[in-house]
A and B are shown apart, each in its own frame.
Chain A
Amino acid sequence: MAVEATHAIDDAAASPKAGHRAWVRTCHWVGVLSFLALVYSGVFIFAVHPRLYWGEVGNSLTPALLEIPITANHRPDGWERTATFPVGDGDVFTASRTYEIFNQNAWARSLHFLAAWLLVVTGLVYVLTGFGSGHARKNLLPPLRELKSGAPLADARQYLKGKFGPSGGGPPYGALQRLSYSVVIFVLFPLMVMTGMTMAPAITAAWPFLLDLFGGYQSARTIHFFCFAILLLFLLVHVAMVLMTGAGRQLRAMILGR
């Protein structure tokens, strides 16, 4: 095992097409496990209140920015007004919900947070090792000149024509690959974690700047949702690309290294 590992590292130094390092593979699959658990539980959590808002406040008695009717949990007619308060800008009111809703949050929330712990720990190991080993700089972060030259867009055009070029089952990656991996790893996942923490009242009590950064609890929830949508799109495209560039070889490389 130790011999093999050394061999792999030697190869990585010698050849650019040396497959995936062991720590990359480990982080990848633990990340997959936690991401799928987060998506699964997240869909159940969102289904309980599938309405999105901006700012600090949003509920069934206020207008939504966006409503996705995946459950019948929002029924504007299902509320009984019980009191009015003459405060603030005009009166505010309260109303009682008169119907039962779909709610699996008991397990869904706990699974979401358990998986989030796994993702955060894996993500930290990945990013720290990534920068420490040079993997992030060498293989992931796209050089500025590559972005300016429009190379990612050129790659996209080739992919759409069905031309995928040689795939090594590991670095070096194409320009679009580098850009999308970097956005996922260094932008979307950190945003997910930070907007997630902004939804936690104990955390924003300690770090209220999170509320200012994202414009409030509901804004953070809305950003969390759209980051989820983009990450799901990434997952679909990523899997499609694996399938179209030799699924067996690609999977083998991500499991066994090469």
Chain B
Amino acid sequence: MTNKIDSRQRRTLLKGLVATAGASLAGCGETVPPTYGNILRMGDWLTFKSHRLLLPEQSMAREYELSDISPAPAIGTTNPADPDKGGVHPEYAPEYAGYLKTGFANYGLRVEGLVSRPGLYSLADLKRLPSRTQITRHTCEEGWSAIAQWTGVPLRALLEAAGILPNARYVQFHAFDGWSDSVDMPDALHPQTILAYGMNGRDLPVPHGAPVRLRVERQVGYKNMKFLRSIVVADEFDDFGFPGDMKNGWAWYVGI
């Protein structure tokens, strides 16, 4: 009897060890960002990990003067309701067209996931929250740069208003052109990470992502998602398949 228990315990212990070893081995395939066994993604992972390890978490991107504001190209999707102007999503495009007609008066940003008060935030709701205005440099992966003034609600303020839960690890963004992306908490809670509804003192123009776009100033241009439809707070990483960076071959973390 005693022996049986012992052997059962031993088996359980062995199983546990095997499971732990297996999990830590499998962990190689479950890094964030995932590498999929691709050497280029391993380099991306190394860059992400070393930035998070070596660079101060709350360092601020440089802010500029009004006189530094420059002409600003709009690229990629410049109108999610117009098939000639970038990505058009079968379901979201008509929805966006409906918002365009009212000048976004009937727009609502969905805030969902790990928040205690999920809901729909109109532009007026967003403007009632604390606001931040910053003049920053947009740095495109293509090699060009532009300086503009952005006004919006700090993502942190919105997340706190929605009652972000302690197990939040990623904030995911879904856009009207069908694109999806996410940031980790150091970037989500960074003071310069804002949901911008104003550009250079005016409402955010459609080509630049109206009515609301993300500004995440310590990453390159494409991370600053335009045309935000919804925000989801999550505890797990999601690569979003083909509407996302990684399955299209692009790095998820682009602080470089």
Q: Are B40 and A111 in contact (CB under 8 A)?
A: yes
B residues near A199, Cβ cutoff 8 Å? 139, 256
Contact of A114 among B43, B75, B207 (CB under 8 A): B43
Q: How far is the CA of A203 from the CA of B217 in the complex (A)?
A: 11
CB nearest to B245 among chain A residues:
A106
Instruction: Give, as a whole number of angstroms, the nearest-CB distance from B201 to chain A.
Output: 6
**Is the beta-carbon distance between A113 and B47 smaller than 8 angstroms?**
yes
Interchain CB contact under 8 A, A113 and B74: no
Does B205 lie within 8 Å of A82, measured CB to CB? yes
Q: Do residues A60 and B218 form an inter-chain contact, with CB atoms below 8 A?
A: no
**Could you tell me if A96 and B207 are in contact, using CB atoms closer than 8 angstroms?**
yes
User: Contact flags (1/0) for A82-123 with B, using CB distance below 8 Å?
Assistant: 110111110011111100010101110111011001000000
Residue A189 lies at the interface, judged by CB distance under 8 Å to chain B: no
Q: How far is the CB of B134 from chain A (nearest CB, A)?
A: 12
Cα A66 to Cα B57 in complex, Å, equals 37
Q: Which residues of B contact A86 (CB under 8 A)?
A: 201
Task: Report the Cα distance A217→B136, complex, angstroms.
Answer: 12
Q: Which of B70, B207, B250 contacts A62 (CB 8 A)?
A: B70
A59 at the interface (CB under 8 A from B): yes
Q: Is B67 an interface residue (CB 8 A)?
A: yes
Query: Is B69 a contact partner of A92 (Cβ separation < 8 A)?
Result: yes
A66 to chain B, nearest CB (A): 13
Q: B60 an interface residue at 8 Å Cβ cutoff?
A: yes
Closest to B55 in A: A206
- Contact among B68, B78, B140, B251 for A110, CB-based, below 8 A: B251
Q: Does A153 contact B (CB under 8 A)?
A: no
Is A96 touching B75 in the complex (CB atoms < 8 A)?
Answer: yes
> Mask for A153-164, Cβ within 8 A of B = 1, else 0?
000000000000
Tell me the smallest distance from the CB of A68 to a CB of chain B, in Å: 12
Which among B51, B62, B69, B145 has the greatest number of chain A C-beta atoms within 10 A? Answer: B145
The interface stretch among A16-24, A44-52, A126-134, A177-185 is: A44-52
Q: Is the CB of B55 within 8 A of A59?
A: no
Contacts A61-B72, A107-B40 known; A94 to B207 CB distance under 8 Å?
A: yes
Contact among B69, B71, B140, B251 with A61 in the assembled complex (CB-CB below 8 Å): B71
**B142 on the A face (CB < 8 A):** yes
B230 part of interface (Cβ distance < 8 Å):
no
A201 touches B219 (CB 8 A): yes
Closest to B144 in A: A59
A221 to B74, CA, bound (A): 21
B139-A95 in contact (CB<8A): no
Q: Is the CB of A114 within 8 A of B143?
A: no
Within A54-69, the residues touching B (CB, 8 Å) are 56-62
Q: A110-B44, A203-B55 are in contact. Are A59 and B249 (CB under 8 A)?
A: no
A117 near B207 with CB under 8 A, answer: no
Partner of B41, one of A45, A57, A110, A202: A110
On chain B, the residues within 8 Å of A92 by CB distance are: 69-72, 200
Binary contact track B216-255/A, C-beta < 8 Å → 1, others 0? 0111100000000000000000000000000011110001
Q: A57-B70, A92-B70, A201-B219 are in contact. Are A113 and B255 (CB under 8 A)?
A: no
- Chain A residues near B149: list those with CB within 8 A: 87
Measured between beta carbons, the chain A residues less than 8 angstroms from B71 are 59, 61-62, 92-95
- Given the known inter-chain contacts A94-B205, A201-B255, please indicate yes or no for A58 contacting B145, CB distance below 8 A: yes
Q: A87-B200, A199-B139 are in contact. Are A110 and B43 (CB under 8 A)?
A: yes
- The listed residue (A89, A106, A204) touching B62 by CB distance below 8 A is A204
With contacts A82-B207, A117-B43, A205-B61 known, what are 5 further pairs, Cβ within 8 A? A85-B202, A88-B68, A94-B71, A95-B73, A107-B40
- A residues in contact (CB < 8 Å) with B: 45-46, 48-49, 51, 56-62, 73, 79, 82-83, 85-89, 92-97, 101, 103, 105-107, 109-111, 113-114, 117, 199-206, 208, 211, 217-218, 221
Instruction: Tell me the B residues contacting A by CB distance below 8 Å.
Output: 39-44, 46-47, 51, 55-56, 59-62, 64, 66-75, 78, 85, 137, 139-147, 149, 199-202, 205-208, 217-220, 248-251, 255-256
7 A–B contacts from the bound complex (CB under 8 Å): A82-B205, A82-B206, A94-B71, A103-B142, A106-B248, A200-B256, A202-B218
